[in-house]
Each structure stands twice: as C-alpha cells, then as structure tokens.
Structure 1
Amino acid sequence: MNAATHDARDGAPQKRPAFPFAALIGQPALQQALLLAAIDPGIGGVLVSGPRGTAKSTAARALAELLPEGQLVNLPLGASEDRLIGTLDIETVLRDGSVRFSPGLLAKAHRGVLYVDEVNLLPDALVDALLDAAASGVNTVERDGVSHSHEASFVLIGTMNPEEGELRPQLIDRFGLMVELQNCFEPRVREQIVKARLAFDLDAAGFRAAYAQEQARYVERIHAAREALPQLSFDDAVHAHVSALCIDAAVDGLRADLVMLRAARALAAFELADAVTPQHVERVADAVLMHRRRERGASSASSARDSETESSRESQRGSTAHSPSSSSSPSPDEAARGEGDWGYLPPQPATTTHVKGVIPLNVKKR
C-alpha cells in the first residue's frame, strides 16, 4: 500500500493512498508552514484555520507521508486524557515495584504527524497536553507520585473552522505557526484543483507515480535540513530584525521571537543556505505573528485611559479626605459612585403603609 494513516475513531492503522504533498495546488503558505514544522518539530506545531473544503486534512496526510515513519495519528474529539498521554498501572508498581506503561496516541505519533481536527472544540486540558509535548518532544505521565516519560517528537497539526468558535488566546499563542486558508474564487486555480482531485480519485497509483520524483526530493530535503539545523546560527542583524517585527506587532511575551528564529532557521536549512538572513525572517514572519499580533496603539490608548481614570479617582479621594466635611458620611451620590471615604452607603429611611381594601396586582378577588 502507499501510505499509512490512522483511523480517527480508534487510532488503528488504515491503509489508503495519500494525495501527494507535491501535488497540492494554491496553498504555498500552508506548504511552507508544514515543511518548517516537519524540519523542526520544536517550533510547536501548525494551526490551520479555514472554512470547510479547503484541503486541511488532505495537507496533513500528505505531509505525514514525507516523514520517517510516514505515520498520521488522528486525535478524535471524544478522546480522554488517558487515551492521549497513556496510562500507568499503579497496582503493578505497588505489587512488583515496576512501572507498567500503556502508551497513548502521543507515543504512536512519535516521528510522525498528530492531526487534530476541530482543535478549538477540544477540552483545554487536552490542548495543553498536546502543546506541551509538541514543544518539548517529551511526554510525561504522572500518577500518585509515579511518573514515566518517553519521546514524543511529532508534528502537531491542528485545524479549525472559525465559524465554530475560537481557541482561547492563551492556547492559540502556544501554536508555533498559523495559516489562514480562504475559499478560492479564482476560476483557473479552482479548475486545476478539481482536475487534480478527479485524476487522483480515478487512478491514485498513476497520479502518485507522476509525482514520485518530487516526493522523493521533499523527503531528501527534509532529512538534509534536519541535519543542517545545528550548524546554523543567528547573527545580530537577524536578532535585531526579529525583535523589531515582534515589537511592531505588540506581541505578548517572547515566544514569538523564539519561534520566529527557529522557523527562519528551518527555512534556511531547507534551502541549504549557509546562514540565516533577515530575508528568511521576513518570509516566516506572517505565520508566526498572524495569531499573536495586537493593536499596539489601541492597547496604549486603553492603558492611558485607565491611568487617567485611576489618577482622577485618586485626586477625588484625596480632595475628599482633606475637605472639612471629610469626617461626615458621604452623600448618596458619592456613595453610589464609590467615591466616598469608604464607599459606604448610609441607611435610608423607608416606610411601609398598609392600605385596607386594596387588592394587589395579579391577585384575583374571590
């Protein structure tokens, strides 16, 4: 058979031909992001956002075929945490003193692709575990003071349809790269995509044979790029350019800087360049900043407004404290605004008068 994938329901191997990575049409940004993550899985995976029918799962399967074990593991939406990270048999530890570990999907995805469709619908705890393993290359399972760790170096590909909800900002930031796919409204490109798909469905073996040489070159280049990564370093010009781009995007923290450097290095390695250059940085910047970019001006304006408001309140509190009437209770208006001495609202007299012969509303007289 041509390519090994895994069934989305139970992770069991299912043989079926994969659409060649080299035959993908109209998706250069997605192809580049996937290749960079394949060269350096420590980038932290790729989040692919787009409407239905934009070849998100097709691209994931195509990439898996280029990796050492050609393995794609799907994480189903209903998977438990134990199904993902694996389980420890505590009874065996207590009885024999040995650790008995049952591997989960993270172990099966080692050196392959872990594909998560509709990642935005997963529980946050599962997404956290996925992203931790994708960034570190190690999965650790702990139960009752007993732990077991194993290698889990895989390319994480998460896809989502923005119409079905977004990921929390704290989680989306931890994906290394992001690509937003759009519906194609260019007639010639649509025709090319449809013709390629029909040809593949009609004769998968023949279609794949036509791209065999290009596929082999991709495999060789990924392998060579992985070997070249340790030899590539970053000079001050590259560091300065990365910093400038991240500052201009008003990103939170330093994760964007680190990911951008790793992505630029992976691109340089893929192209067999002698050094990482600012041009490599420019070409990966969009995928790094797309889900991290903030409006710096808006944030600054908001901070300024908050500062002015707080200063105004402090000034009002200070003037009240030094006024001759500061020892008396604040007025109801001041208390309602929380601007009195202690934000205290004095009791207000309220009387109740019982009137005979009056029937309350909504109560029928019998």
Structure 2
Amino acid sequence: MAETSVSNSRRRVLSGMRPTGKLHLGNYMGALYNWVRLQDQYDCFFFIADWHALTTDYANPGNVKEKCFEVALDFLAGGLDPEKCVIFRQSHVPEHASLHLLFSMFTPLGWLERVPTYKDQQEQLREKDLATYGFLGYPLLQAADILLYKPDFVPVGQDQVAHVELTREVARRFNQLYDSRWSEAIAQAESDKERIKAEVSANSLIELTFPEPQALLTPSPKLPGLDGRKMSKSYGNTLMLNESEADIRAKLKTMVTDPARVRRTDPGNPDVCPVFDLHKVFSPAEKQAEVREGCTTAGIGCIQCKGWLADNVVAELAPIQERRAKYEANPHLVTEILEAGAARAHAKAAASMKDALVALGME
C-alpha cells in the first residue's frame, strides 16, 4: 500500500462511526458525505469504532469483524480516499484503550452521568442491561479516541456537541493536573484579569499535552425513512447504499406521504410530506419546484412524485455502487488500506500516549 499523501501542515479533523454493517442513506448524508469534502481541506483521521459497538451490544456483538469490513467498503465507496485521509479500525490501535484507562482514573462520575445521551439511550434501549461501566464510560472512550490525535476539529451534529465539550473538559483537567506548562502559564499572570485571560488562552498559546478540540458543526439534512420516522436500521425503514435500482424503486413506492392526500385528485402539502424531504436532499431545485407545483395543485400523483425521487436517488448512488463493486472484487485492497491506516494512526497515537505518560512522570 502506497504511503498516503496527507499533509501534516493542514489542520486536523478526527471522527468515527460505529460498525453496524452496511451503511444506509441516513449514515451517508449524516456523516460520510461531509467527511468526503473535509478530506480535501484538512488532515483527516476517520475510524471504525468497533470498541464502541460493545458498549451497548456486549452480550450479542455479532460478527464485528465482518461489520467493520462492510463499513470500510462503504467508506471507500462513498468517496473517502486513502491518499487523502487515514482510515482505520479503532481496535487496531491499542492506545485508544490505554488512554481511556488513564482518563478513567481522574474523570468524575458526575461528568459522565450528565451527558444527555446517557439517560436517553437507556430509555430507548430498555430491553438491554446498560448498567455497565462500558456504557457509562463510552463518552470517555470517545474523548480518548479524539485526544489521541490532537485534532483541531471534530465534525459533529448538534446532538453530539455535549460529547465534544466533555472531551474538552477531560483535556483541560489532564493539563491542569499533570502538564507543568499549564500551571507555569497561569503563575506568570500578574493580576486577576491577566490570570483569567491566561486560563482562557493557555490552550492556544502553549503546546499543551492535550489541546482542546473544537466542535465543527456539519450540515445534516432531515432524512426520513420509508415510514416517515428518522431513517434507522432499528426501524427497518432504510435505503441502503448498495440497494439495487429495482429495490429502491419498489421501496419508495411504499413510502408514506402527506396523510391528508387520500385521493389522487386531492391537493397535497409538500411541507408535511416525507417524500418531499428526500426530494430536498436528492433532487435539483427545478425538480423540487415541479414537485411542489404538481403536488399542491393535484397535477401529479404520489406515484409519479416517488418515481422522480427514485430517478435522483439512483443517480446519486450509481458512482458509490460502482466504487463498491471494485472493492468487493478486490477485498485485499480494503484490508491493505485498513492496515496502512492503522499503522499511520498508531504512529500518532503512540506519540500522544508517550506525551501523556511523560506528563504523569511514568515515562
């Protein structure tokens, strides 16, 4: 595998995705679509978070290795380029677990218990026993995932900002406890005003062990599933990236529409129709205008509207499926890319772990 040409002079981005198997359109538009564009602007590290898969599915992990391979296929099919970014499996870089253990020694339990998704997921996954440290501590594992690579930015949606803020708090606490450069910067301030200014700016003015990353809010369009709810495998309402054209057209014919439009002659309201939400993502502006005009005047029926949508979804997925087929025919290329990515990630992670141990006086 050739050495990637990722530039070390660019600002760094880090993000990951849990391996749930083949990706669907919601995964693509919610994260992967943006990652593909970020790789041209930043020094990017993208990983498959297989340790995280165990935080909720420890009792029935399934075939994690196979799921990781499917996610890697879709990463590459979606447009991630190993010559522009680093792609790897989390568990193939042991420093993720090591730094998580170190962070667990000083992170207050209250910080983890207040993360919004902690109680939300317990409520949503009542059928699972989530009274485990692994589930409570998964935001801390995320913090280790991020801080190992000292990124400038972490691309997230609004619902994940709290996780980035926890990561910043963990970095700050580590630096305050163990990095003498932090205390020296604060001690040099001569007044309260200067001290406060030093505390705020110390992270950017001196090279701390763990710089605090910033959340990079990325656009995530509303992408409903076939039943109108959020597209999710758990709801069985998805369109997969590798879905055949025939299946895409058949599935979209069943998609829910404006419930007030009972008959073909009834005018509809695109603003309450899940099909139109998909048009706003996959159809050009002129087609959206044609759909709106036809729907509100009953000039077109829902079947015709869904057919137009299917045309544009199929067109969007065609190059993705073409790239996937290439890698499916050459699975060794995927393995080589993941191995090369893990080697590059390990080099960075090992250096960060050494920095941490030096700060603790353990190295």
Calculate the TM-score normalised by the size of structure 1: 0.22
Give 1 or 2: higher strand fraction: 1
Calculate the TM-score normalised by the size of structure 2: 0.22
Give 1 or 2: higher helix fraction: 2
Greater relative contact order (CA < 8 Å, ≥ 6 in sequence):
2
